[in-house]
Amino acid sequence: MDLNLLRQDEIWFLEKDEQGASHLYSLINLKMSPDLNIQKGYLQGRFGGIPFLGELDQLG
């Protein structure tokens, strides 16, 4: 994710709750430091929508 290529309102996250309902929200709605490394923050789960980088059969 590079804010030189995409605006904050063009980056969206999707998270599922315990009931399986999906929640969609934009990066622009999150408060963050202007010098934050967006890609690193995403991979660390800072924005929710935590990435799953394993095999699909591990999802359970």
**53 CB-side CA count, 13 A:** 6
Q: What is the mean pLDDT of residues 52-57?
A: 68
Q: What percent of the chain has pLDDT over 90?
A: 20
* 39 within a domain of the structure (yes/no): yes
Please report whether residue 3 resides in a domain.
no
- Reported as a single tens digit per residue, the pLDDT across 29-53 is 988 888 888 888 888 888 887 766 6
* Global confidence as pTM: 0.67
pLDDT at site 21: 92
Give how many domains the chain has, as a whole number: 1
Measured over the CA atoms of residue 24, residue 25, residue 27 and residue 31, the dihedral's sign is negative
Within a 13 Å sphere around the CA of 23, how many CA atoms are in the beta-carbon half?
A: 9
User: What confidence score (pLDDT) does residue 59 get?
Assistant: 59
Q: For residue 1, is it within any domain?
A: no
Q: Where does residue 48 fall: left (phi above 0), alpha (psi -120 to 50 degrees), or beta otherwise?
A: left
